[in-house]
């Protein structure tokens, strides 16, 4: 279930979030992608986020653990719940 927009806009550094990365293929093949976990490092003043990939991409091998990613609340598909 997609987290509410309110929760996605209230993320704080240290949170783990899941983002979807789409790979657009030639028109006859459609598109595919994968979900990867990102460790949130910081929030910017305009409501954006910067995080670091926690794993390597399988479908998109250019996505490597440790890469920095900029994203917004609308890109978050899951938030790791902490006990």
pLDDT bucket at 80, cuts 50 / 70 / 90: very high
Backbone angles phi, psi at 2, to 5 degrees: -65, 130
Three-class SS of residue 29?
A: helix
Instruction: Give the helix ranges, DSSP H, for the chain.
Output: 5-9
Would you state the structure tokens that stand for residue 3, as one six-digit string?
């987290």
**Residue percentage of the chain with pLDDT more than 90:** 65
Q: Find the mean pLDDT for residues 55-73.
A: 93
pLDDT tens, 22-47?
876 655 555 578 899 999 999 988 88
């Amino acid at each position: 279930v997609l987290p509410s927009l309110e929760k996605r806009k209230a993320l704080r550094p240290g949170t783990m979030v899941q983002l979807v990365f789409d790979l657009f293929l030639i028109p006859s093949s459609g598109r595919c992608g994968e979900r990867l976990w990102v460790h949130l490092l910081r929030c910017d003043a305009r409501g954006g986020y910067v995080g670091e990939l926690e794993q390597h991409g399988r479908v998109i091998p250019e996505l490597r653990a440790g890469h920095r990613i900029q994203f917004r609340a609308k890109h978050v598909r899951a938030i790791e719940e902490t006990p």
